Amino acid sequence: MSSRLLVTYQLRCTPAEAPARARALAIEQSVEMPPEAIADEALRARVLGRVEAIEPDPQDPALQRAILSLSADTVGDDPVQLLNMLFGNCALQPDVTLVDAQLPESLVEALPGPRFGPAGWRAAIGPSAEGRPLSCTALKPQGLPPDELAQLAYAFARAGIDVIKDDHGIADQAAAPFEKRVSAVQRAVERANREKAAGGDPALAGHRSLYAPHVSGGPERLERQLAMMRDEGVGAVLACPMLIGAGTFTGLLRGRAGVPVMAHPAFAGGRIAPALLLGRLFRLFGADATIFPNWGGRFAFSRGECLAIADAAREPLGRHLPALPVPAGGMRVERCREMLDAFGPDTMLLIGGDLLAAGPAMPARAAAFASALRAARDSGGARAKPASGDPGHPAAA
Amino acid sequence: MSSRLLVTYQLRCTPAEAPARARALAIEQSVEMPPEAIADEALRARVLGRVEAIEPDPQDPALQRAILSLSADTVGDDPVQLLNMLFGNCALQPDVTLVDAQLPESLVEALPGPRFGPAGWRAAIGPSAEGRPLSCTALKPQGLPPDELAQLAYAFARAGIDVIKDDHGIADQAAAPFEKRVSAVQRAVERANREKAAGGDPALAGHRSLYAPHVSGGPERLERQLAMMRDEGVGAVLACPMLIGAGTFTGLLRGRAGVPVMAHPAFAGGRIAPALLLGRLFRLFGADATIFPNWGGRFAFSRGECLAIADAAREPLGRHLPALPVPAGGMRVERCREMLDAFGPDTMLLIGGDLLAAGPAMPARAAAFASALRAARDSGGARAKPASGDPGHPAAA
């Protein structure tokens, strides 16, 4: 079993139909031809997907679950081919949902995982980030020119926000071309960081806000963007793995950005369980933090799905560092306490529109957000409540 | 209107809920923040998505359709950002399906489109391909070593199959590493082509079969694969845009492969109308041929959806060449006539497993497939029936 993936699919069919449907799926996701036409029996035994178990779906009697095993030989070591074998052709079969995948140790080891993890984020932000949840906000709306985005970033950084990311809709448009925008915003954040170091508020002494520009496009454009970021000394980066491609995310971002990487879930809306895709797989592909739409916002993920994403991002997984879960998607400062109680301190909270909607009071609201997260360390309250609900959970401790 | 995209979404809500849902979607897919918090009115007017129309879904009273307009400024000229604006965040909202997108002329012009198109495929195959539908088959199963894949390819090429592609599950695995496989298969196909030129069958004189290896991975691996293909003189290439990323597909495949490009639909199973994604968008991203699961096979696309894909791949679209539609997914030789009647001669038929299932009779069955398509030119029957059902349709004529 150790060299096979154990993949759980949900099938929309009756219990009587399930064995044939599961077998057809095992063929589709492996040899993709009639098995009886494969003359080499050893090859067929090795490469053909196997139906390991079929059971009724615990939630819905109209659904069945099939556990298939797929040979790790069919994947090799590549994120793109992993997604292909897990959900390539059956993505086009609407009766199939990908629920879970347990990867063999060899494959877990072959994938890069996070380079920085929670400790790397905190080290980049400075000593004031130790032992507490992190704050993140977004520069928007797209359409603002570089100097106005820079003004926003400056205000956020002065307020003590840890990570200031581009809205994922901001790419390389005429209103704020990548080079001009990144240069202007990075300089504004550096100025705010110098001012915090020099002055006034002891709570923010030594606090370094990080800017995470959104990189997007094909490989040539991405390489130009990464080179430019390095030249400017940018401290983090944001990308959408499902838009740029998992192989590009791993190869260029995890491999060569040299700074902590945030993954954004845009375009990740197929029939794949969020905990698997946004939690385990994005982490294995190299995300140091993974953004997901938290419950109670503009999106439909349930509380259970969100906690499962956080667990998958932080649970023990071979040699790999955890990724920070980043609940987002219409969150408000008033929900910080509740979110920290649910997710624990190894979390980055992302609040964007709610800060900007404050208008002239935005700096005060951003400061309230940042200070709520500092208070979470000081109180120690959030620390006692890991996401899994298991106080002995090693990754959340 | 000329600088805006007109995007049609299907919303699962009541007619009474539709205006608010559509407005929320217009915000989500543009500024992604409360519009009232955008101080600059001109920016808001330009960048904010607009609800242009709401109507009941023609098929299902539980669904509504909303037509939104999005500013072309938010897209720029990049395939990745186009997908982001069309379906980035709302991919995570299961009540939303992307039905259609009419792109402004400037954006249609900015995208590369096919480099070769149907005439390019036929020129590469030789004079015997003029005026007739093309045949395609697949090398499989994955797990076969390079020499056995090469033997299969040789037999297909001798039988007169036009395009011999890797199964999309074949990537760069240990059983048949890319370099060894591509070298062995390409040489086998070249040998068969030389033999056809030298000998016997006048129907195959001058017929050049093309090998289309499947390239997959991150940018570095893809660049190595493309360089190796060039060194070997490989005549076509296959990739999955939704797995490697649309920007990588456009930048590396359309931009630099130098041979006709086939797009495979693996992982393209989100809530996006197939005619839009596999037809219009893959074509605009640079596909010279687009594979899709035909009706009556192992997949769920309807006849109407398949004909709509073919129409989108071939209809007039700015300066762009058509892409060949490639119906596939469990097709059989006996269905050639029916498929050609439906899709017309500017089509590539892909039959894989049905040929391989013939076992020792595979070469004869492959020859029957190839000859059925040659007969379709000679009879002229298929030529009279373009996919759109409109005999005056310029692209299918």
Closest residue of chain A to B71, computed from CA coordinates = A143
Instruction: Tell me if B101 sits within 8 A of B8, measured CB to CB.
Output: yes
By the CB < 8 Å criterion, does A37 face chain B?
Answer: yes
- The residues in A 294-353 lying below 8 A from B, measured between CB atoms, are 298-301, 352-353
Relative to beta strand A289-293, strand A324-328 is: parallel
Residues of B in contact with A168 (CB under 8 A): 84, 88-89
**Cβ-based neighbours of A176, under 8 Å, separated by 6 or more:** A142, A143, A144, A145, A146, A149, A170
Lowest mean pLDDT among A302-306, B354-358, B383-387: B383-387
By the CB < 8 Å criterion, does B232 face chain A?
Answer: no
3-state secondary structure of A63: strand
- Residue B269 vs residue B231, higher pLDDT: B231
| Cβ separation B217–A252 shorter than 8 A | no
| Cβ separation A93–B268 shorter than 8 A | no
For chains A and B, count residue pairs whose Cβ atoms are closer than 8 Å.
Answer: 308
Mean of the per-residue pLDDT values of chain B: 93
Q: In the 3-class helix/strand/coil scheme, how is A103-154 assigned residue by residue?
A: CCHHHHHHCCCCCCHHHHHHHHHCHHHCCCCEEEEEECCCCCCHHHHHHHHH
Instruction: Give me B131's structure tokens.
Output: 């005026």
pLDDT at B24: 97
Instruction: Tell me if B382 sits within 8 A of B376, measured CB to CB.
Output: yes
* Omega cis (within 30) before B141: yes
pLDDT at B390 over 80: no
| Interface test mutation site (partner B, options A248, A253, A306, A351, max chain B beta carbons within 10 A) | A248
Residue ranges of the domains in chain B?
Answer: 4-110, 117-384
pLDDT at B338 over 80: yes
Burial B316-337 (b: 16+ CB within 10 A, else e): ebeebbbbbbbbbbbbbbebbe
- Closest to A306 measured CA to CA, from A347, A351, A263: A347
By the CB < 8 Å criterion, does B41 face chain A?
Answer: no
DSSP E strands, chain B: 4-12, 50-56, 63-71, 96-102, 134-139, 163-166, 210-212, 237-239, 261-263, 289-293, 324-328, 348-350
Mean of the per-residue pLDDT values of chain A: 93
pLDDT at A379: 67
ipTM confidence = 0.94
pLDDT at B380: 53
Instruction: Tell me if B263 sits within 8 A of B168, measured CB to CB.
Output: no
Instruction: Give me A219's structure tokens.
Output: 């490989």
What's the gap in Å between the CA of B100 and the closest CA on chain A? 16
CB neighbour class for A199 (10 Å; exposed up to 12, middle 13-18, buried from 19):
exposed
pLDDT at B389 over 80: no
Give the separation between CA A311 and CA B332, rounded to whole angstroms.
Answer: 46
Of all residues in chain A, what percent are helix, strand and coil, respectively (each to 5)?
Answer: 45, 15, 35
Q: Is the dihedral of CA B82, B85, B86, B89 positive or negative?
A: positive
pLDDT at B392: 35
Question: Residue B383's pLDDT band (boundaries 50, 70, 90)?
Answer: very low
| Interface test mutation site (partner A, options B92, B152, B167, B238, max chain A beta carbons within 10 A) | B92
Instruction: Give me B57's structure tokens.
Output: 């879904």
Residues of B in contact with A214 (CB under 8 A): none
- Residue B378 vs residue B148, higher pLDDT: B148
pLDDT at A200 over 60: yes
pLDDT at A348: 98
- The residues in A 245-274 lying below 8 A from B, measured between CB atoms, are 245-248, 250-252, 255, 265-271
pLDDT tens digits, B8-18: 999 999 999 99
- Closest to B324 measured CA to CA, from B135, B187, B186: B135
pLDDT at A378: 66
Which one of B76, B244, B298 has the shortest CB-CB distance to A245?
A: B244
- Closest to B47 measured CA to CA, from B72, B81, B77, B71: B71
pLDDT at B381 over 90: no
Instruction: Tell me if B113 sits within 8 A of B283, measured CB to CB.
Output: yes
pLDDT at A199: 83
pLDDT tens digits, A309-364: 999 999 999 999 999 999 999 999 999 999 999 999 999 999 999 999 999 999 99
Instruction: Give me B346's structure tokens.
Output: 């500017």
Question: Residue B248's pLDDT band (boundaries 50, 70, 90)?
Answer: very high
What's the gap in Å between the CA of A394 and the closest CA on chain B? 30
Give the separation between CA A255 and CA B152, rounded to whole angstroms.
Answer: 38
Question: Across residues A366-380, what is the average pLDDT?
Answer: 88
- Closest to A226 measured CA to CA, from A250, A253, A189, A194: A253
pLDDT at B43 over 60: yes
| Interface test mutation site (partner A, options B244, B256, B267, max chain A beta carbons within 10 A) | B267
What's the gap in Å between the CA of A217 and the closest CA on chain B? 5
| Interface test mutation site (partner B, options A12, A21, A84, A180, max chain B beta carbons within 10 A) | A84
Give the separation between CA B328 and CA B326, rounded to whole angstroms.
Answer: 6
Q: Is the dihedral of CA A270, A8, B329, B300 positive or negative?
A: negative
By the CB < 8 Å criterion, does A88 face chain B?
Answer: yes
DSSP E strands, chain A: 4-12, 50-56, 63-71, 96-102, 134-139, 163-166, 210-212, 237-239, 261-263, 289-293, 324-328, 348-350
pLDDT at A312: 98
| Interface test mutation site (partner B, options A29, A142, A254, max chain B beta carbons within 10 A) | A142
pLDDT tens digits, A77-132: 999 999 999 999 999 999 999 999 999 999 999 999 999 999 999 999 999 999 99
Give the separation between CA B56 and CA A250, rounded to whole angstroms.
Answer: 43
**What one-character DSSP code corresponds to residue B254?**
I
Instruction: Tell me if B248 sits within 8 A of B219, measured CB to CB.
Output: yes
- Closest to B112 measured CA to CA, from B311, B256, B215, B273: B256
Q: How many CB atoms lie within 10 A of CB B112?
A: 16
Question: Across residues B20-34, what is the average pLDDT?
Answer: 96
Give the separation between CA A269 and CA A253, rounded to whole angstroms.
Answer: 22
3-state secondary structure of A59: coil
Closest residue of chain B to A43, computed from CA coordinates = B143
CA A256 centroid distance within chain: 18
Residues of A in contact with B252 (CB under 8 A): 218-219
Instruction: Tell me if A210 sits within 8 A of A186, measured CB to CB.
Output: no
CA B75 centroid distance within chain: 22
| Cβ separation A32–B252 shorter than 8 A | no
Give the separation between CA B82 and CA B5, rounded to whole angstroms.
Answer: 10
pLDDT tens digits, B117-127: 999 999 999 99
Give the separation between CA A59 and CA B26, rounded to whole angstroms.
Answer: 34
Which one of A28, A36, A267 has the shortest CB-CB distance to B91?
A: A267
- Hey, what long-range contacts does A376-382 have (CB within 8 A, 24 or more apart)? A376/A132, A376/A133, A376/A336, A376/A340, A376/A345, A377/A130, A377/A131, A377/A132, A377/A133, A377/A345, A381/A340, A381/A341, A382/A133, A382/A340, A382/A341, A382/A344, A382/A345
Question: Across residues B225-247, what is the average pLDDT?
Answer: 98
pLDDT at A395: 35
- Closest to B89 measured CA to CA, from A264, A224, A153: A264
Instruction: Tell me if B66 sits within 8 A of B21, measured CB to CB.
Output: yes
pLDDT at B295 over 90: yes
pLDDT at B377: 81
**Cβ-based neighbours of B390, under 8 Å, separated by 6 or more:** B396
Give the separation between CA A320 and CA B325, rounded to whole angstroms.
Answer: 44
Question: Across residues A174-193, what is the average pLDDT?
Answer: 97
Question: Residue A59's pLDDT band (boundaries 50, 70, 90)?
Answer: confident
CA A354 centroid distance within chain: 21
Residues of A in contact with B301 (CB under 8 A): 92
Instruction: Tell me if B329 sits within 8 A of B297, measured CB to CB.
Output: yes
By the CB < 8 Å criterion, does B9 face chain A?
Answer: no
pLDDT tens digits, A147-183: 999 999 999 999 999 999 999 999 999 999 999 999 9
Which one of A47, A76, A220 has the shortest CB-CB distance to B141?
A: A47
Instruction: Give me B332's structure tokens.
Output: 């059989």
| Cβ separation A32–B352 shorter than 8 A | yes
Question: Residue B333's pLDDT band (boundaries 50, 70, 90)?
Answer: very high
pLDDT at A269: 84
The structural architecture, per CATH, of the domain A4-110 is: 2-Layer Sandwich (3.30)
Question: Across residues B285-300, what is the average pLDDT?
Answer: 95
By the CB < 8 Å criterion, does A85 face chain B?
Answer: yes
Give the separation between CA A323 and CA B253, rounded to whole angstroms.
Answer: 32
pLDDT at B382: 43
The structural architecture, per CATH, of the domain B117-384 is: Alpha-Beta Barrel (3.20)
